[in-house]
Amino acid sequence: MRRLALLMAVMLAVLVFPPVSAGFEVGEDVQHLSCLAEGDCRLTTVPSGEDTVSGQAQGTPFAPERVLFEFELYPEQDELALLPERLTDVEIDLRFDDDPTRLTWPDVSLTLVHGSGSTSWTIPAGEGSDLPAYTVDEVDLDLDEGRVIWPGEGARLLLSFSLDRPATWTLHLYGDSTFEMEVEWSADPDAADVDEPSSRSSPASVEFESAHDGALVGGEADCFEFNIETHEVLRVLITWDPVPLELQQQSAQPELRLSTGLLAPSPQVEVVADDDGTLTRYRWRALQEGQATLCLEGQSDRFQPYVWAGLLSFEGMGPVDPSGFSGEGLYPSGGGQVDGSGAVESLPNPPSGLRAFPGLLLMCVGLLEFTRRTTSWTLRWGLTVPGLLLLLLGGVFNPLISASTAVQQDGELDLDGLIEERLAQLWDVAHPGVPESTLVTHSGATFGRLDGEELHVRLEIEHATPLDDGRYQLHPVGLDEVRMDELIFAHVAKESGATQADHVQRFVLLAGRSLLLDLIALEALLVVDDLPSSSVVHLRTPMVETAASGSVTAPAWGTRPASIESGAWSMLQDALLPQRIAVSLCDCDLDLLDVRFVAASGLQSSDLPRHDGLTSAGSFLASPGLTASLGVLLLGLGAGLEQRRRTEAHRLAEQMLRPDHSWD
């Protein structure tokens, strides 16, 4: 009878909660609150269970009654999933029939427990008659404990409310109470871990020159035993599948132990990272023949599938040879620019404070004239004073103020400073001890600027190119000569006091990609409606959070200038994102780096948004020369008329006085 009852319960559970996908995974956005009974509730991806759950409360103001529901994730989590930053469209259809006005309806408290973290929020009852009463558009998840959910960790939703009066409540389910959670990435570790069993104590026996699939799950060690035959060069090629930054395992160098039991010497290494994954090539020369064991050591709380293969060859120019690199890591400018439709426009030099010197001399002359006694206050205030003011404004103040706008301001960076600051930031977040969520946030932000931070850069413009829509594309000085490899390795050398090999490798690959994307975005922002008045411009804008471009494994441009709308920024992201980015690092006799990309096709001027972050150094007057000239003209006219009136007054005085008097 017990077995029959158990069988009936299982069949009933299957009917009420039909088999669905395993917990949180990609493609299952909507989570439904479902209950078989008041004390047996689940989170499911399809509507299931009872239509409603009701109850009565006998609470008082002195002894409120608390009602609690706990919705367990069903089925249990058996995939590795990456949580999004927020929940959306949360709807809880809870009703209290005794108060149609909703004025006394209590707040609903919810807590989503996800992995080792949790997020809590409260929803007040909404006004009006539309149902459901408890809704919220967005809820930011608390991801301080990480955004990865491992198989078996699971999740649950706690829903509670308190009543300080007698009331009858009804919780409407079966599709009426839901929330959306767009899982960005998920994988099945058991399905990917096909190399098992392969451990240090029991390595898998394989053919060296064949491809072998596997996955590093957590801190396990995957070991493979094979025979090394006659060779001059031995290579091991490992292709790591793209996974989120929080889960990457490829920084660990494999351990190759020879037939003597000794470890092989350190190999030469080349790493090529692109959107399709990361290829790492290890190269040894003339190793001892015989049985050898290759072990890949994983890190805890990490997961990454891979394919590895061996290659035995004789001396030649292999794929890890430095000759495979260009030798110059120049930034390939133009990825964020549109071809011009007219002749190149040169820009004048920025204003100099020396231009105020002639104005000061003329001001001195004008002041000398001003100190002389006048014969007409109308003439003095009508011509001389306005002339002095115009000369002061156009010939003195304008050059001095204009010159001050051309210098680097407090808190402002130049192009070199912007790059150096970005590299310093990437170096810090690439450290193995930094939380992966911090790494994703900072590396994916545009220029490394987070929400609320300001981007303030002074740029010298070499020339401007007219675009087909009447705007101008600015070309900054020095961008074509940016040696990304030298800058990145120079920063490594500067920070080489206490570094780890995996820290350096991670930083170099991350910096190559992030710096490339930053410079592409910088080019796209250097578009103005009118030709600047000088060759110095200031880019100053607050940055705000936005949806990142690219994939969850390689986010890009996660912040945008505040004056650019999210829709326009999204269009720019789609138009700018390169079709392919490859960052190659060679740990050979010389450190070498290549950053190559296939630019996005079809970038047009209409994709480049307008914004108010660019200002030109120069005159604050439309025509400073004309203003100063008008001031000189008024001064000269006033001085001439004053001199004429003085001469005429002198003559009249001589006529009016007797011959024995003279004019003083």
Same fold, 19-186 and 189-320: yes
What pLDDT score does 411 carry? Answer: 83
List 307's β-bridge partners, or say none. 213, 239
Pairing of strands 148-149, 255-257: unpaired
CA angle 397, 399, 402 (to 5 degrees): 100
Mean pLDDT of 574-584: 85
DSSP 337: -
Pairing relationship of beta strands 40-44 and 65-73 according to DSSP bridges: parallel
Q: Strand 185-187 and strand 80-82: pairing? A: antiparallel
pLDDT at residue 376 tops 60: no
Query: Does residue 661 surpass a pLDDT of 70?
Result: no
Query: Is the pLDDT reported for residue 355 higher than 70?
Result: no
Range in 254-263, 505-514, 534-543, 637-646 the model is least confident about: 637-646
Position 322 scores a pLDDT of 55
Indicate the residue type of 347: L
pLDDT of the residue at 8:
39
pLDDT at 364 over 90: no
| Structure token digits, residue 331 | 């930034």
Average pLDDT taken over every residue of the chain: 80
- Angle of CA points 603, 552, 578, to nearest 5°: 20
Give the predicted TM-score (pTM) of the model: 0.72
pLDDT at position 18, please?
45
Terminus-to-terminus CA distance in the chain, angstroms? Answer: 138
Q: Cα Rg for the chain, rounded, in angstroms?
A: 37
Please state the length of the chain: 664
Query: CA angle, corner 174, sides to 171 and 177, nearest 5?
Result: 55
pLDDT tens for 314-335 read 764 444 455 556 556 778 777 7
- Please identify, in words, the CATH class of the domain defined by 19-186: mainly beta
pLDDT classification of 7: cutoffs 50, 70, 90: very low
* % of the chain beyond a pLDDT of 90: 27
Average pLDDT over residues 33-42: 85
The pLDDT, as a whole number, for residue 296 is: 92
Q: Which of 33-42, 58-67, 318-327, 360-369 has the lowest mean pLDDT?
A: 318-327
pLDDT at 358: 57
Tokens of 448: 């490394």
How confident is the model at residue 539, as a pLDDT? 93
Please compute the mean of the pLDDT values over residues 425-446 and round it to a whole number: 86
| Lowest pLDDT segment from 5-14, 49-58, 295-304 | 5-14
pLDDT band at 620 (very low <50, low <70, confident <90, very high): low
Closest residue by Cα to residue 266 from 241, 289, 287: 287
pLDDT in tens, 213-267: 999 998 889 999 999 998 888 999 999 998 888 888 866 678 999 988 899 998 8
Where is pLDDT greater, at 37 or 311? 311
How far apart are the C-alpha atoms of 52 and 174, rounded to whole Å? 8
Please name the residues in contact with 312: beta carbons below 8 A apart, sequence gap of 6 or more. Answer: 208, 209, 228, 229, 230, 231, 233, 234, 235
Separation between Cα atoms, residue 485 and residue 591, nearest integer Å: 9
Residue 90 clears pLDDT 90, i.e. is over it: yes
Q: Read off the pLDDT of residues 281-301 as tens digits, 9 standing for 90 and up.
A: 898 988 999 999 999 998 888
Residue 253 has, within 13 A of its CA and on its CB side, a CA count of: 21
d(CA 381, CA 377): 6
Tell whether the model's pLDDT for residue 566 goes beyond 60: yes
Going by pLDDT thresholds of 50, 70 and 90, the confidence category of residue 599 is confident
User: 567 is written with which tokens?
Assistant: 């829709």
> In this predicted model, which residue has the larger pLDDT, 391 or 472?
472
Q: Are 525 and 560 in contact (CB under 8 A)?
A: no
pLDDT at 579: 82
Give kind and range of the element (H or E) at residue 404. helix 398-406
pLDDT reading at 518 higher than 90 = yes
Evaluate if residue 505 carries a pLDDT over 60.
yes
The least confident of 119-128, 326-335, 577-586 is 326-335
Percent of the chain with pLDDT over 70: 77
Instruction: Delimit the domains of the chain by residue range.
Output: 19-186, 189-320, 353-405+620-656, 412-616
For range 377-400, the mean pLDDT: 61
* Residue 564 in this model has a pLDDT that exceeds 70: yes
Check whether 375 has a pLDDT greater than 70: no
Question: In the numeric block, which tokens belong to residue 524?
Answer: 């796209």
Return the pLDDT at 276: 80
Domain 189-320 has CATH 2.60.120.380: yes
